[in-house]
Structure 1
Amino acid sequence: MSALFSTAQLRGLTLRNRAVVAPMCQYSAEDGFANDWHLVHLGRFAMGGFGLIIVEATGVTAEGRISYRDMGLWKDEQIAPLARIVDFLHSQGAAAGIQLAHAGRKASTPIPWRGGFTETEAEKRALGFASWTPVAPTAEIHAENRNFTPPHALDLAGIRNIVDSFVAAARRAEQAGFDTVEIHAAHGYLLNQFLSPLANKRTDEYGGSRENRMRLVLKVTEAVRAVWPSDKPLLARLSVSDNRPDGCQVEDSVVLARELKARGVDAIDCSSGGFDGGSIAPVAAYQVPFAHAVREGADIPTIAVGLLGDVAGAEAIVAAGQADFVALARGALDDPNWAVHARHGLGATDYDLWPEQAQRVRERDRALGLRSFQPT
């Protein structure tokens, strides 16, 4: 039996397999609202057999978005379009997750493919353009001359508002029907900024020591777990290493993962990097060691991410206990049916993971002698 296509249990949630679609920003929302693009973009992965599909980084406040075209969940009106997506994912047998995020000092940036704020006045009106001053642990820009804006430093009232905003967004995610939420504490965004000495220069109880730098993400986790249903799992995404010698290291994230587990987090989504100057070679499966280290060091299920489209390699990761789940982003974009294809590649002779509407694939395979119909 395939390890990758075995079922998995996280609290009361049963996943049909361990293939996950990682959050992918689409820069296609207006005023934070999901639309038909998001429905089709995410729905095709459910039709393609993935077990869990996690919606892109979704701003818990308007100013917490990476760009003005990011999704949001800071007001009740944003619930219904997301509920429509959740219902479709469920109808295809997939579980639905959403990544709750605040970009901090990496907010208010341009749409990536534009290369800068190049919108005409007409485009600004059509696209719902907005720009704003970001917030951060301290008033230091992420990087100079790269379309980032100098941020304001959060005071204690601002920090309390961040916690409250994550809680409010989690409540809305529950109303939308999501099976899990993922707290985004990676990639140099706000919670990661508090965690890392590269961005956190505070001298109060939220800065300095590792214990102090962990304080905000632990407060957010406690508060979200308190309102998130006890039978639904809670995930957290970490940059396990900042990939810089003066930043957070694997051992820091192992300590953090233990604390997150103690506060009710059920799995850690293990990525890395996010700060200017970080360096790691992006080759196939390059972040799997991070997932393995956290899994072993904190005794918690992990999700491996990072160029994992090779089917045999993904199977080996789960089978060897290097991670409990394998997540694809770019690989899923390239092949939305990766999961059904991978299952055949690992020896499945049935077509049960395909949608009913796609069962003619079996007829084609029979006619052409493909997959399980290959001549012996």
Structure 2
Amino acid sequence: MSKKSVAAPNTPYFTPAQKPSAGTALSESPPTLFKPIRIRDAEFQNRIWVAPMCMYSADNGKLTDYHLVHLGGLAFRGASLTIIEATSVLPNGRITPQDAGLWEDAQIAPIKKVADYVHSQGQKLGIQLAHAGRKASTSAPWLSKVRGKAVLATEDDGGWPKNVMGPSAIPWSTEGYAIPREMTLEDIADVIQAFKESAQRSVVAGIDVIEIHGAHGYLISSFLSAISNQRTDEYGGTFENRTRLLIDIIKAVRAVIPESMPLLVRVSATEWMNFAPEQWDVESTIRLAKLLPALGVDLLDVSSGGNNEAQRIEMHNHFQVGIAGQIRDALRADKITNLLIGAVGLITEAEYARDIVESKTPSMSGDCVEIEDEQDIKTKADIVLVARQFLREPEWVFRVAFRLGIDVQWPVQYGRAEFQKGSRI
């Protein structure tokens, strides 16, 4: 037997090969959460993905070694896909001056550095392409004196409050946000082109999966809603017109990325504005979802809210996962099976993550997380996307496996540190 450690292939430095990849189930007949899933030519060893999380730590749009450590550390610990935070396709599309960007070729190399490392660990890297629209030119959240309150980034702060734009000249809020200018058709064409070019740069950078950010009140999301979009041209008014920007962007991106590359779309499935006459709601999202497979979209990432400060979110442990399940059920009822669903939001416990992607009768044991709105557990989504829990517990994939009694592969360097039987995890 050779005593020489095998190097990871196609890596510009030595690091041991991880075969199988960390997070791969070694137990026989694991739950669906730890079964592989294939999307186009990409195979993922489990159903746990790291959702994009803004870090507000980029340098003129360029990722830094901070991102290498942050993203690489999560990928190293068994998530089958780690998605880079909202990455702006234009300078004025950043949420803050310190957001990631991919509007120029100089921003490719830092992303490729992260991709090379993630690939050396046998894992996959995604990117969320975005434009902040009317929520652009704010400051990093830790600069606010009140949690959850935005602070406008002025020119002195490196911001661009006079170049913030949206579908209509309606600010997200009168406090902490710029008044956007209504976009011209030329502006819209520039944004579509920018998404296209950023997608091309993503491919060059070695990205495996692209997600288009159409949620949380950013540019695409604000076009979808009749509350924030009061245009009277072909990009406003009817459902077909309000979804036109997203559809145009999807077509532009899909046309320039490999056929083998998965394409995701994140949406806010409801604005949580039930008291408003024309809100974007779950039924609107279902209508949109039915159009996506023909456009080459492989997965709908179901989030909610963020488009209006007057939103009334009905927060509970199932508030978004239940919506994902509604959408998935509606698609299946119409025999649409070629659009996967991703669930995100308050997914913190192993048993809950397991039950989201698996049909089963709930256990009566104390270990099972209660679901508030139904008696039987059935598949709500095909993938769970987890964000803040990974900040609390970067090794969350291993903790979930341990809680569920599943033996999974750890990184070879950490193999001696697996959780011990009987440990309270």
Q: Same fold (TM over 0.5)?
A: yes
Instruction: For structure 2, list consecutive stretches of 5 or more residues without a partner in the other structure.
Output: 1-29, 145-150, 360-378
Of 263, 278, 282, which aligns to 1:250?
Answer: 282
Structure 1: distance between partners of 2:35 and 2:413: 24
Task: Give per-residue Cα distances to partners, 1:217-248, cap 9 Å, x unaligned.
Answer: 00000110011110011000000011112311
Write out aligned runs for 1:42-57 (5 A).
42-57=71-86
Of 344, 349, 352, which aligns to 1:305?
Answer: 344
Of 34, 40, 56, which aligns to 1:27?
Answer: 56
Change (3 A) 1:215 1:119: closer
Change (3 A) 1:93 1:285: farther
**Larger helix percent:** 1
Structure 2: distance between partners of 1:41 and 1:54: 11
1:209 alignment partner in structure 2: 238
Structure 1: distance between partners of 2:232 and 2:203: 36
The worse-fitting range, judged by mean Cα deviation, of 222-231 and 285-294 is: 285-294
1:361 alignment partner in structure 2: 417
Q: Does 1:292 align with 2:329?
A: no
2:356 alignment partner in structure 1: 317
Of 237, 249, 270, which aligns to 2:302?
Answer: 270
Of 204, 215, 228, which aligns to 1:199?
Answer: 228
1:112 alignment partner in structure 2: 141
Given that 1:47 and 1:337 are in contact with CA atoms closer than 8 Å, whether structure 2 keeps it comes out as no
Q: Does 1:167 align with 2:193?
A: no
Residue 370 (structure 1) shift: 3.9
Structure 2: distance between partners of 1:309 and 1:134: 36
Write out aligned runs for 1:1-376 (5 A).
1-115=30-144, 116=151, 129-132=158-161, 133-145=163-175, 147-245=176-274, 246=276, 247-274=279-306, 275-298=308-331, 299=336, 300-320=339-359, 321-349=379-407, 351-352=408-409, 354-362=410-418, 365=420, 369-370=421-422
Residue 10 (structure 1) shift: 0.6
Structure 2: distance between partners of 1:287 and 1:271: 6
Residue 91 (structure 1) shift: 1.8
Structure 1: distance between partners of 2:300 and 2:52: 14
Task: Give per-residue Cα distances to partners, 1:278-325, cap 9 Å, x unaligned.
Answer: 111333232001211222223321110001011001100100221001
Structure 2: distance between partners of 1:48 and 1:17: 12
Structure 1: distance between partners of 2:80 and 2:316: 25
Given that 2:137 and 2:153 are in contact with CA atoms closer than 8 Å, whether structure 1 keeps it comes out as no
Instruction: For structure 1, list consecutive stretches of 5 or more residues without a partner in the other structure.
Output: none
The worse-fitting range, judged by mean Cα deviation, of 39-48 and 181-190 is: 39-48
The runs of 4+ residues in structure 1 deviating greater than 6 Å are 118-121
Given that 1:344 and 1:371 are in contact with CA atoms closer than 8 Å, whether structure 2 keeps it comes out as no
Residue 45 (structure 1) shift: 1.0
Given that 2:41 and 2:260 are in contact with CA atoms closer than 8 Å, whether structure 1 keeps it comes out as yes
Task: Give per-residue Cα distances to partners, 1:148-168, cap 9 Å, x unaligned.
Answer: 001111111111001000000
Structure 2: distance between partners of 1:334 and 1:282: 21
Structure 2: distance between partners of 1:60 and 1:106: 15
Given that 1:285 and 1:305 are in contact with CA atoms closer than 8 Å, whether structure 2 keeps it comes out as no
Residue 51 (structure 1) shift: 0.9
Residue 117 (structure 1) shift: 5.7
The code of the aligned residue for 1:302 comes to I
Structure 2: distance between partners of 1:204 and 1:4: 45
Task: Give per-residue Cα distances to partners, 1:352-374, cap 9 Å, x unaligned.
Answer: 1x111101114x73xxx5469xx
Structure 1: distance between partners of 2:358 and 2:259: 29
Structure 1: distance between partners of 2:110 and 2:241: 38
Residue 257 (structure 1) shift: 1.1
Across the aligned residues of Structure 1 and Structure 2, the Cα RMSD in angstroms comes to 1.7
Given that 1:180 and 1:234 are in contact with CA atoms closer than 8 Å, whether structure 2 keeps it comes out as yes
Structure 1: distance between partners of 2:260 and 2:423: 39
Residue 118 (structure 1) shift: 8.6
Q: Secondary structure at the match of 2:245?
A: helix
TM-score, with length taken from structure 2: 0.82
Number of aligned residue pairs: give it: 359
Structure 1: distance between partners of 2:143 and 2:155: 12
% of aligned pairs identical?
A: 41
Structure 2: distance between partners of 1:335 and 1:285: 21
